[in-house]
Amino acid sequence: MQISAGNKTAIIVGASGVVGGHLVNYLLASQNYSKVVSLGRRKLDIESEKLEQHIINFDKYGTYAPFLKGDDLYLTIGTTMAKAKSKEAFRKVDYTYALNIAKAASENGMNQLMLVSSVGADSESVIFYSRIKGELENAIKELTFWSIHIFRPSILLGERPESRTGESIAKVIGKGLDFVLGGLLTKYKPVEAETVAKAMVAKAQELDSGIHVYPSHWIQKLSEKEDALRKI
């Protein structure tokens, strides 16, 4: 299979989120992409000749499957239990919607998938959130992409459309514990959403085939390595 290193088309699903917002900016700025397609429930307040936007209904496969054609799929959709209101609704967004999108992209011949998962993702976890993330990862790995890159960030730092009080508290606790324990909890240290976006775009340009999983502390290190980010 011949994989393009330039003049690529990027598809992003979840551009209105905290990571997705940064992703759109980096993709539009990247010389490796000639076209960026955003699929979502609402239009982004961004104007660019490279940007193509489509309003879709995640419950209706036909509204988005035809648009999932290109080179690299950036999948960043997700919700919270507070917003979803129930485990069933949460699973519908974080598992069903995400997997259906990935399946459509795979069937349409897209080459690379860049997925935002979460630290602690494990299909056998007793924690519901982590279990759903793990189940999604397992299902994604069965798809026929040339390469799959799974990013497992810890708590994300950055402006969000909605308030997440629990995460705000966790950020403070995480920073405090990191100071007290001298970095022993690096795996769970909060990470900037912008850093995750940079890492995703950078790794997509390396054209590594196969399945790759990046823990949160690896993503953190990218912010300290400017050379790696120049690949964007």
What radius of gyration, in Å, describes the C-alpha atoms of the chain?
17
- Which amino acid, residue 12? I
> What element of type H or E holds 117?
none
Burial class (CB in 10 A: 0-12, 13-18, 19+), 69: middle
Separation CA 202–CA 200 (nearest Å): 5
Catalytic pick from 92, 95, 129, 141? Answer: 129
Q: Which residues contact 136 (CB under 8 A, 6 or more apart)?
A: 94, 95, 98, 99, 115, 117, 121
Separation CA 59–CA 162 (nearest Å): 23
> What's the pLDDT at 174?
52
Give the number of other Cβ atoms within 10 Å of residue 83's Cβ. 13
Residue 129: active-site member: yes
Q: Per residue of the chain (232 residues), give pLDDT as tens.
A: 667 778 999 999 999 999 999 999 999 999 999 999 999 999 999 999 999 999 999 999 999 999 999 999 999 999 888 999 999 999 999 999 999 999 999 999 999 999 999 999 999 999 999 999 999 999 999 999 999 999 999 999 986 544 444 445 545 555 555 555 455 567 778 899 999 999 999 999 999 999 999 999 899 777 665 455 565 5
Q: How far is CA 1 from the centre of its chain?
A: 25
> What's the pLDDT at 163?
46
pTM: 0.88
Catalytic pick from 8, 133, 189, 198? Answer: 133
Give the number of other Cβ atoms within 10 Å of residue 42's Cβ. 9
Structural domains of the chain, with CATH:
8-155+193-229 (3.40.50.720)
Using alpha carbons, list the distances in angstroms from residue 40 to 101, 163, 164, 189.
Answer: 11, 20, 21, 30
Q: Contact 36/28 with Cβ under 8 angstroms?
A: yes
Q: 218 is written with which tokens?
A: 């690896």
Q: Which residue in this structure is represented by tokens 């999948």?
A: 75
Separation CA 8–CA 28 (nearest Å): 11
